[in-house]
Structure 1
Amino acid sequence: MTDIRIALSDKAIAQLPSPEDGWYLARDTELKGFFVVVGKRKRTFTVQGDLRQRGKRASSIRVSIGDASELTTRAARSLAKEYLAQISKGKHPKARQDGNAEQGNTNRDEAVASVTLKQAWQRYLEAHLIRKGRSKKTISGYRDHVERLFSEWLDTPLLDLANDPGRVAEKHDELSKENGPYMANGSMRTLRAIYNHARKTNRSLPRDNPADAVDWNQEERRNTGMGTGDLKGWFLELANLDNPIRREFHLFTLLCGSRPTALQQAKPEHINFRRRTLHIPTPKGGSKRAFDIPLSREMILSLIRVLRFGRQIHPSQAQEWLFPAESASGHLAETKEDRDILSKWGNDLRQTFRTIAAAAGVSEFDAKLLMNHSIPGVNAGYVTRHKLVEDHLRSQQQAISTAAFSGLGKSLVGQGPLSDWLGHAASRRVVSLFQLKPAPLSEEEERIRQAA
């Protein structure tokens, strides 16, 4: 559980929930530095303050006052004021009682140093991932690393791992063989992050991170993108795909360069035909990375087609999702295809987008903005992205779409799978091909379709 702040009283303390594991702090709103450490079986009144020497902060100490079951809150608060006054003068409150001014620090260090991986993970999850709005997929990835790959370490104190880095290195070697080099590296990055986060509130943990003992596996970027010369064959493969909704999903992924997982959760309400944008509210990095994708003519037509097919094939799911499907979520959840049927999909298309952007003369900076990449450098912080979407980025998006379609040539004229799908009056022929009646478009959608 995370720390809380309340007005401490006998009644309030009695009603505090006990944590399933570890402990948390209930801080007093009236007296700064006064709180209760709430554990599974015990609740202890405690104070914390800075010892000062010659006007400068020497150290921060915590001193226990007494068991909450044996001491009233009023008496504990009175003692807390006395302790805090002594601490502010550079005196340890219990120095005269037990002759050991460092005992309070020692007890605290022993308690916090015993924090387990499970407790540190829970704190990292709540205080870092959830509080900072990380996406569900990101959190799921971290959870898989900790709760599955490190399941036998959940009750192991972080201090034990820090003092035995060879154990961590051996675990990395084991994961590399059983789960692959990328998964092994990713899990160790998770462990490193959790340890560093735990050490912020526990300086008794060693500075050296146990994950530093790992001999990292070499990771290479998968170069699976296509060039403009490869696209005609891929378009033909895509045109022969049975499911028209999946077909439009792959095409739109190519034309926008977005991560497939972000598009899967797109909704019709995210489309703004007037501004010619598709809003992505929760991309990788969470809601704070939300952005608008500017739409080219080809992208608008793709959205119009998928809206029509969605309403006809999955009328119930199409009310909520842009790419509906018969799945538990109601939208496309699995977008992998048999490579013998469709050779490129997913992140292959994201790499292809970046390759075509370069061929179309789009600058690296603009391509990163279109793909919602982080832009390094101080000056990038002064770029107001949404101001560029209306004109500049849309023209760059159109240049990329034009380059992607340029290799199709006369394939869109006459008869054939490509012309049936993307050629003149294609909508009627495609609907006839799948023996479907075209779902009606709204007035605005029809106007946009004709304009595009």
Structure 2
Amino acid sequence: MAVRKPRKAPERAPRKLTDDHIEALREFADSDVADRRNLGSEAERSEGVEYPDSIVKGLFVFVGANRTVWRFRRRRREKGVRTTIFRTLGEWPMMNTEDARKAAEIAVGNVHSGEAAPNKRSSIRFEIAFAAYLEYLKSKAEKRGKPPRWYYNVKKLGDGIILPKFAKWTLAEMAMSPGAVSSWHAEVTKKNGPVSANHCARVIRATYKRASRLDVSLPQRLPTSAVEFNEETAKQNALPFKSFPARLKAWRKIDNAIRQAYHLTGLLVGPRPGELARLRWEAYADNERTLVIAKAKAGKDIVIPVSDEIVAALKMAREAAEAWGYSVTPDALMFPGCAQAGHRDDLPARGNMLRHTYSTVAADLGIDELIRHFLMGHAPEGISQKYIATLILANGPKMREEQNRMSRRMVELLGLSARTFKAEIDAGLVQSAKAAKGRAEDATKALARAQRASVRSRRERARTR
């Protein structure tokens, strides 16, 4: 039995649209729906009808069952490929006919000038742009000779929070939907916390900015333009002065002198944990009594004067490295195996908290703010980068004097004197040597047990043959 195909609705000729005409179309929308059910195509039966305007070519008013929307559609050929530009301009009656024509004329101008935003099919998806941004972060870290820690952090945020929501969205869609991004940011704030939500929004913004440098057709409005970022307060926790003896007690329990030297140097110098873990022996000049932190956070090398206490901590690291069989050549790490020591060792203060402790002790001693900035490798606000090296040279003797004061004060807060400080270092080396010997004996016994088990296994297999 032949199936009767629905007749195609006749194409509506363009006419000069007016607000009165559109109001009449709305009143007769129910009749139009009935006509579409009998005559229209499947799309018309389910969605509605478009009425073209004769004044601005490409402007349509879409009359649906529930709402009336202004649309703009124009075909163009770009590099031999025909594409269609489609835009939703606004909803009637909030946008009247005159405003709709103005918006359509702007869209026409963008098409002719080549500035029209890409449509959904041609626009790049966020997951592709995000992958390109990750590669950029990785190559940037490798170029600077640093581990790609921010690359791993961004990848973790993307896999766990961002991509499940926006992987299939195009960049153009995200830019044209700032409200959706803002609502998502609010949801992430409730679920993952304010800091993670802000990080995710910044990653989306950075990904979009980098993609827009390669594709100028993307909208200038950022996807995060409607996001209200949460307030963040950086932690400035420092080790209380009364807790220094407790830290010394916990430090004594570490059975590895390399890690002991790492934590002691961090307390006496106040560097960033990652910068300290990446230090190599070529950075230390014994004759000049200086320590160079290469490629610091600001991208510059930092030259720091060292005190007798800092020299003792560095010698502790060298002796322990030699005892454990590590290389101590100029290109070898000062503190091998300490990249994650701050997370493994149970100390009252470690990592970046030691940096805040250093700053607190300096302020308590009344050290000049400019000298304190230089000792910590900061670039003081309001001073051009090219003058900082000159200022450091001019203040060199003063920096060394204040560094010596800082080290003496740190040792004093630990409850030690110059003599007992040296005794603590010697005791740490002896304890580390004993622990290393014990580990070697345990390894030898484990190897012997494994060899005996292997012999028994071979004998058993030989008997069964």
Q: TM-score range by the shorter chain?
A: 0.5 to 0.7
Amino acid at match of 2:180: R
TM-score by length of 1: 0.62
Q: 2:340 aligns with which of 316, 333, 340?
A: 333
Give yes or no for contact 1:294–1:389 (8 Å, CA) kept in 2.
Answer: no
CA distance in 1, matches of 2:250, 2:341: 19
Structure 1 residues 392 and 130, CA, compared in 2 at 3 Å: closer, same or farther? farther
Give yes or no for contact 1:109–1:202 (8 Å, CA) kept in 2.
Answer: no
Structure 1 residues 113 and 256, CA, compared in 2 at 3 Å: closer, same or farther? farther
Aligned to 1:301: 312
Give yes or no for contact 2:411–2:417 (8 Å, CA) kept in 1.
Answer: no
Per-residue CA deviation, residues 99-153 of structure 1 (Å, 9 max, x unaligned), is 9995571678559971232443455556687459564223333333335432232
Structure 1 residues 304 and 437, CA, compared in 2 at 3 Å: closer, same or farther? farther
Unaligned runs of 5+ in 2: 1-76, 82-107, 437-465
Q: 2:158 aligns with which of 146, 152, 156?
A: 146
Amino acid at match of 2:194: P
CA distance in 2, matches of 1:364, 1:183: 33
CA distance in 2, matches of 1:258, 1:219: 23
Aligned to 1:291: 302
Give yes or no for contact 1:112–1:202 (8 Å, CA) kept in 2.
Answer: no
- The residue matched to 1:323 in structure 2 has which SS? coil
Structure 1 residues 162 and 220, CA, compared in 2 at 3 Å: closer, same or farther? same
Amino acid at match of 2:375: L
Give yes or no for contact 1:256–1:353 (8 Å, CA) kept in 2.
Answer: yes
CA distance in 1, matches of 2:371, 2:121: 48
Q: 1:114 aligns with which of 123, 146, 149?
A: 123
Is the aligned partner of 1:247 residue 2:256?
no
Q: 1:279 aligns with which of 287, 292, 300?
A: 292
Offset of residue 310 of structure 1: 1.3
| Matches for 1:180-329 after TM superposition, within 5 Å | 180-200=193-213, 202=215, 204-285=217-298, 288-315=299-326, 320-325=332-337
Amino acid at match of 1:423: K
CA distance in 2, matches of 1:123, 1:430: 48
Offset of residue 270 of structure 1: 2.1
- The residue matched to 1:404 in structure 2 has which SS? helix
Structure 1 residues 168 and 410, CA, compared in 2 at 3 Å: closer, same or farther? closer
Per-residue CA deviation, residues 54-93 of structure 1 (Å, 9 max, x unaligned), is xxxxxxxxx96669xxxxxxxxxxxxxxxxxxxxxxxxxx
CA distance in 1, matches of 2:161, 2:361: 39
Amino acid at match of 1:158: L
Give yes or no for contact 1:120–1:195 (8 Å, CA) kept in 2.
Answer: yes
Aligned to 2:42: none
Q: Which has the higher helix share?
A: 2
Q: 2:359 aligns with which of 354, 361, 386?
A: 354
CA distance in 2, matches of 1:104, 1:222: 50
Structure 1 range deviating more: 143-152 or 397-406: 143-152
Q: 1:396 aligns with which of 378, 402, 413?
A: 402
Is the aligned partner of 1:423 residue 2:428?
no
- The residue matched to 1:292 in structure 2 has which SS? strand
Is the aligned partner of 1:157 residue 2:170?
yes
Amino acid at match of 1:333: Q
Give yes or no for contact 1:176–1:183 (8 Å, CA) kept in 2.
Answer: yes
Larger Rg: 2
Structure 1 residues 221 and 229, CA, compared in 2 at 3 Å: closer, same or farther? same
| Matches for 1:427-442 after TM superposition, within 5 Å | 428-435=426-433
Amino acid at match of 2:361: I
Structure 1 residues 354 and 233, CA, compared in 2 at 3 Å: closer, same or farther? same
Is the aligned partner of 1:370 residue 2:375?
yes
Structure 1 residues 101 and 428, CA, compared in 2 at 3 Å: closer, same or farther? closer
Offset of residue 378 of structure 1: 4.8
Amino acid at match of 1:391: P
Structure 1 residues 127 and 310, CA, compared in 2 at 3 Å: closer, same or farther? closer
Per-residue CA deviation, residues 361-417 of structure 1 (Å, 9 max, x unaligned), is 22222222222233322545422166358533333322221221223456666xxxx
CA distance in 1, matches of 2:324, 2:349: 25
| Matches for 1:161-180 after TM superposition, within 5 Å | 161-180=174-193
CA distance in 2, matches of 1:279, 1:100: 58
Is the aligned partner of 1:105 residue 2:114?
yes
Give yes or no for contact 2:261–2:313 (8 Å, CA) kept in 1.
Answer: yes
- The residue matched to 1:212 in structure 2 has which SS? coil
RMSD of aligned Cα (Å): 3.7
Amino acid at match of 2:314: L
Give yes or no for contact 2:379–2:385 (8 Å, CA) kept in 1.
Answer: no
- The residue matched to 1:278 in structure 2 has which SS? strand
Structure 1 residues 111 and 293, CA, compared in 2 at 3 Å: closer, same or farther? farther
CA distance in 1, matches of 2:121, 2:362: 52
Give yes or no for contact 2:185–2:197 (8 Å, CA) kept in 1.
Answer: yes
TM-score by length of 2: 0.60
- The residue matched to 1:343 in structure 2 has which SS? coil
Per-residue CA deviation, residues 157-177 of structure 1 (Å, 9 max, x unaligned), is 111112222322233234334
Aligned to 2:149: 137
CA distance in 1, matches of 2:297, 2:121: 33
Give yes or no for contact 1:175–1:184 (8 Å, CA) kept in 2.
Answer: yes
CA distance in 1, matches of 2:233, 2:186: 18
Give yes or no for contact 2:309–2:407 (8 Å, CA) kept in 1.
Answer: yes
Q: Count matched residues.
A: 329
Offset of residue 195 of structure 1: 2.3
